[in-house]
Amino acid sequence: MKQKRNLNYSIHKKKGIRRKRILTGSIILSLVLILCICFLIVQPSYHEKEPAVSATNIFQITDIPEYTGSPYIEINNNQPSFSDKNLTKEVFEYYSDFDDLRRCGTAFANVGPETMPQEERGPIGEVHPSGWQVANYHDLIEGNYLYNRCHLIAFSLTGENANEKNLITGTRYLNTEGMQPFELKVLDYVRASGNHVLYRVTPVFEGDNLVASGVEMEALSVEDRGAGISFHIYAYNVQPGVVIDYRTGDNKPDPDYDRKERDEESYEPAEETTGQREKLENGSEGTSEADDQEGTYILNTNTHRFHHPSCDSVADMMEKNKTISTESLEKIIEGGYQPSGRCKP
């Protein structure tokens, strides 16, 4: 009888130990599940994902030279500062929160065919970035207005249009001469290759200024590790002919601006007669001896246009802005220059 009780006790003890183990295992499993759920809840989506590398600190605004005529300069030897852990084919977009002055911060994305807009661009007039003002310079600026609502990451790359965290007060010059050439390079590359490009733009504000002094732009193609796209530049938020108060956005005409430097911006060539057109197409007439100096062009370092040596615009240039180049057209255009509207080299 005593032996039977001992056996029952032993069986009960084993069952108790088994129940404790099961209970302990259930508690541990429950805790793991709770932690996993909490992690998934707080984990941001790719659209909100913090960049693995924050805005670069390679340079300070005090290190940037004064604007001297070029819409942008290369920084960090034109090398972007992304790390290997940034190299992903998975698309994402990140737009910084406003600071205390409601100024935009870094916009960072991995753009690809998947991020391209699927609908037409809509209005953005309701967005008023920091320092925004309406200023009309119809006799000076193509498009009339000094300021544009400049996308940090172009609409053509991500489809982000009226996102106020992606729009700054930028000059027409910054928009079209500083940023657009690089946006188009990335756009053309993605369309042609189907690859992805890490793309980061950081507006640079000095002190408590409401208008950015310029923007830092970086890009690196992912699949070919920069063979297709790789740049790191600073584009100036300036407008030739206008003095800007970056603290507020106030502005006025620059009394020292030489209007001759703008000759091609507003020049409309006279309509060609049938005879002139035939001569030009046949190549028998219509070019001067200077034009026949194949591979020789005159660069205007202020307007970033290039001309035939015989172009009327060359005579209007200030000597300090005149440079002779014997490079190929391809090299000149890669350097950020556009053909003259007068002589159309």
Burial 197-217 (b: 16+ CB within 10 A, else e): bbbbbbbbbeeebbbbbbbbb
Structure tokens belonging to residue 256 = 């020292």
- Domains of the chain: which residue ranges? 61-257, 261-339
- Give the pLDDT score at 89: 94
Are 164 and 124 in contact, with CB atoms under 8 Å apart? no
Are 149 and 134 in contact, with CB atoms under 8 Å apart? no
Helices (H) and strands (E) in the chain, counts: 7, 14
pLDDT cut 70: percent of the chain above it = 69
- Least confident stretch, 39-48, 114-123, 240-249: 39-48
- Least confident stretch, 6-10, 92-96, 319-323: 6-10
Alpha helices, H only, 43-58: none
- Give the pLDDT score at 31: 64
Model confidence over 27-63: pLDDT tens digits? 766 665 665 555 444 444 334 444 443 444 456 667 8
CA 249 to chain centre: 21
- Give the pLDDT score at 85: 87
Whole-Å CA distances, 164 to 129, 174, 175, 216, 306: 7, 18, 17, 19, 37
- Give the pLDDT score at 14: 52
Domain 61-257 fold is Extracellular Endonuclease; Chain A (3.40.570)
- Give the pLDDT score at 218: 97
Model confidence over 126-139: pLDDT tens digits? 999 999 999 999 88
pLDDT band at 301 (very low <50, low <70, confident <90, very high): confident
More confident residue, 236 or 265: 236
Mean pLDDT estimate for the chain:
79
DSSP 79-108: -----GGG--SS-EEEEPPP-TT-----EE
- Give the pLDDT score at 70: 95
- Indicate the pTM of the whole model: 0.62
